C-alpha cells in the first residue's frame, strides 16, 4: 500500500490526518488478520520514527525519507514524488539484498524477496496513485487505487472562501483513472461521479463501502455518558451537539457554530452546548483561531468547548457524551464520523452530500439537510433538541444501522477484487494491454 502524504499511524483530526488514515489502518490490519502481508509506504515526517514500524503481525509501516521532515506543506509534495518513489525502490532493493545475505529481520512475501515480494499495489490519494502507477510498471504487478477524494468532485461543492483544487491535480487523477487496473470507490454515487468527470471505465470500478469498529464505538450507559461529560467538562443536564473532524471550511464547522448560535438565542432554557473536537487542517491552518473568533463574534464562546483530536479509544467518550453529532461537510466521500457516531448510539444531523445519504439512515438514525444555510441547519438541529422522544429513538436505532458496515466485510470484498485483478477477471487491464501480458494469473 502507498499512502505518501499521511501515515496511517498519525492521529486523525490533526493536519492532513483524517478518515483516510482510519481507513488505511483498519484495512491493513484486517488484511493482515486474513493472512495477507501488508507494507504501507508513507513519507517520513520525523527523524525519530524509524524506517520500519511493525504495527502487528503481517502489517508494517515503512517511513520513506523524501524531502525535509517538517515544514513541507501538502501542496509542495508533488515536488517529492520522484524522491519518494526512489526511497521505496531503495528500501525494496535493500530488503532483497539483506535477505540474500541472510540478514536478520528481513521479510519475504509468498516465498520471494525484493520487487517480486509484492503481488499487488494499492495506492491511496492521487499523490500515491502517481507513485503506484510507476511502480506497477517497474514491478510488473497490478495497481488498485482508492482516491478518497477527487478534485473535480470537490470543486463542485466548495465552501465559501475555500480554495479550488488545482488543474494539475485533476490531470494527475485523470492519468490514474486511465492507467489503474481497478478503482475502488465508496458508493455508487462516487462511481457515477468519476464516470462523468473522468470518463472512467465502469467495468474497472468496484464499489466497496468502508466499515466501522463496532467493538470500540459502542453505546454508553447513562452512567457512562455522565462520566464522559464530567471528564470533558460539559454540564450533565445540557443538550450537547458535537462536531468531530478536521477544522477546515470543507468540513463546515462554521455552519454548526452559526446554527447553534441561533438555537441558543431561540431556546435559552435548553442549556445547549457545542463541542468542537479536532485540529486545524487545509485552509484552516491559515487562521487556526478562526472558529474561536467566530464563536466570540456570535456571542456564544461560553457555550462552546474546543477539544483537541483524540485517539479512537478516547474519541468514543466524545460520541457518548453528545446528544447529537453534526456533520455539515460540503463534500464527504463516505462519512466515517457519521458511522462511528451511530455505532456509539448517537443520532446524526448531516449534509446531504457525497456518501452521507448512504451512511445515515434518514428518519431512523438521523436527519439529512439540504445545503449549508445556518437557518436551515438550526431548524434541523432544533427538531432533535426539542423532541427528546425522537432523539432517543434515533439513538437507539443507530447502532443497528452501523452494524451493517464492518471492516471484515470491507476487507473480504477487497480480497475478492485483488484476486480478480491477479487472475483472469481483469477487464482491459491497462498494464496487461501495454505489456502484452495475457489474461490469467501473473
Map residue 184 onto helix, strand or coil: strand
| 357 CB-near residues (< 8 Å, 6+ apart) | 189, 368
Q: Quote helix, strand, coil % in the chain, to nearest 5.
A: 50, 15, 35
**434 known ligand binder:** no
**18 known ligand binder:** yes
Of 385, 55, 336, 299, the closest CA to residue 213 belongs to 336
**105 known ligand binder:** no
Indicate if the alpha-carbon torsion angle 324, 12, 125, 136 is positive or negative: negative
Distance of alpha carbon 196 from alpha carbon 190, whole angstroms = 10
**15 known ligand binder:** no
H/E run at residue 306: strand 304-307
**271 known ligand binder:** no
**23 known ligand binder:** no
Of 22, 2, 26, 3, the closest CA to residue 11 belongs to 22
Query: CA–CA distance from 124 to each of 20, 59, 144 (Å)?
Result: 8, 16, 9
**246 known ligand binder:** yes
**163 known ligand binder:** no
Residue with cell 464505538: 217
Partnered with residue 38 across adjacent β-strands are: 59
**330 known ligand binder:** no
**145 known ligand binder:** no
**16 known ligand binder:** yes
**248 known ligand binder:** no
Indicate if the alpha-carbon torsion angle 130, 134, 135, 136 is positive or negative: positive
**231 known ligand binder:** no
**346 known ligand binder:** yes
> Within 13 A of 269's CA, how many CA atoms are on the CB side?
1
**223 known ligand binder:** no
Give me the helix-helix angle, 374-386 and 253-266, nearest 10°: 60
User: How many C-beta atoms surround the C-beta of residue 148 within 10 A?
Assistant: 22
**374 known ligand binder:** no
**160 known ligand binder:** no
User: How many C-beta atoms surround the C-beta of residue 74 within 10 A?
Assistant: 16
**198 known ligand binder:** no
Distance of alpha carbon 164 from alpha carbon 248, whole angstroms = 13
**413 known ligand binder:** no
Residue positions in the annotated binding site? Answer: 5, 11-12, 16-21, 74, 125, 149, 169, 246, 251, 310, 319-320, 322, 332, 340, 346
Residue positions in the annotated binding site for UDP-N-acetyl-alpha-D-glucosamine? Answer: 11-12, 19, 246, 251, 310, 332, 340
Residue positions in the annotated binding site for Mg(2+)? Answer: 319-320, 322, 346
Residue positions in the annotated binding site for 1D-myo-inositol 3-phosphate? Answer: 5, 16-21, 74, 125, 149, 169
Amino acid at each position: 500500500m502507498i499512502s505518501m502524504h499521511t501515515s496511517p499511524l498519525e492521529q486523525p483530526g490533526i493536519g492532513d490526518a483524517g478518515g483516510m488514515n482510519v481507513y488505511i489502518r483498519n484495512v491493513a490490519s484486517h488484511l493482515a488478520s486474513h493472512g495477507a502481508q501488508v507494507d504501507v509506504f508513507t513519507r517520513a515526517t520525523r527523524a525519530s520514527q524509524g524506517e520500519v514500524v511493525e504495527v502487528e503481525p503481517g502489517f508494517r509501516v515503512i517511513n520513506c525519507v523524501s524531502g525535509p521532515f517538517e515544514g513541507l506543506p501538502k501542496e509542495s509534495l508533488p515536488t517529492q514524488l520522484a524522491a519518494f518513489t526512489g526511497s521505496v525502490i531503495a528500501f525494496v532493493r535493500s530488503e532483497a539484498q539483506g535477505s540474500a545475505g541472510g540478514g536478520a529481520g528481513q521479510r519475504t512475501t509468498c516465498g520471494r524477496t525484493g520487487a517480486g515480494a509484492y503481488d499487488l499495489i494499492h495506492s491511496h490519494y492521487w499523490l500515491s496513485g502517481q507513485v503506484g502507477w510507476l511502480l506497477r510498471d517497474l514491478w510488473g504487478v497490478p495497481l488498485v487505487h482508492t482516491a478518497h477524494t477527487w478534485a473535480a468532485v470537490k470543486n463542485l461543492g466548495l465552501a465559501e472562501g475555500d480554495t479550488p483544487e488545482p488543474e494539475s491535480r485533476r490531470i494527475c487523477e485523470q492519468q490514474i483513472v486511465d492507467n489503474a487496473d481497478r478503482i475502488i470507490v465508496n458508493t455508487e454515487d462516487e462511481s457515477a461521479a468519476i464516470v462523468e468527470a473522468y470518463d472512467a471505465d465502469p467495468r474497472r470500478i468496484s464499489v466497496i463501502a468502508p466499515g466501522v469498529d463496532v467493538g470500540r464505538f459502542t453505546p454508553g450507559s447513562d452512567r457512562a455518558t455522565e462520566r464522559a461529560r464530567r471528564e470533558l467538562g460539559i454540564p450533565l443536564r445540557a443538550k450537547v451537539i458535537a462536531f468531530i473532524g478536521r477544522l477546515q471550511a470543507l468540513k463546515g464547522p462554521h455552519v454548526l457554530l452559526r446554527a447553534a448560535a441561533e438555537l441558543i438565542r431561540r431556546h435559552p432554557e435548553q442549556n445547549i452546548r457545542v463541542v468542537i473536537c479536532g485540529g486545524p487542517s487545509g485552509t484552516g491552518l491559515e487562521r487556526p483561531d478562526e472558529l474561536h473568533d467566530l464563536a466570540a463574534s456570535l456571542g456564544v464562546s461560553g457555550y462552546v468547548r474546543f477539544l483537541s483530536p483524540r485517539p479512537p479509544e478516547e474519541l468514543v467518550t466524545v460520541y457518548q457524551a453528545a446528544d447529537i453529532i453534526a456533520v455539515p461537510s460540503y463534500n464527504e466521500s463516505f462519512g466515517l464520523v457519521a458511522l462511528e457516531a451511530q455505532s456509539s448510539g448517537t443520532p446524526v444531523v448531516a449534509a446531504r452530500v457525497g456518501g452521507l445519504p448512504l451512511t445515515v439512515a434518514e428518519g431512523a438514525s438521523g436527519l439529512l439537510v439540504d445545503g449549508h444555510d445556518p437557518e436551515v441547519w438550526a431548524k434541523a438541529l432544533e427538531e432533535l433538541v426539542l423532541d427528546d422522544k425522537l432523539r432517543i429513538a434515533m439513538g437507539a436505532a443507530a447502532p443497528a444501522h452501523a452494524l451493517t458496515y464492518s471492516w471484515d466485510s470491507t476487507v473480504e470484498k477487497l480480497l475478492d477484487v485483488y484476486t480478480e485483478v491477479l487472475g483472469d477477471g481483469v477487464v482491459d487491464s491497462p498494464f496487461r494491454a501495454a505489456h502484452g501480458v495475457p489474461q490469467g494469473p501473473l
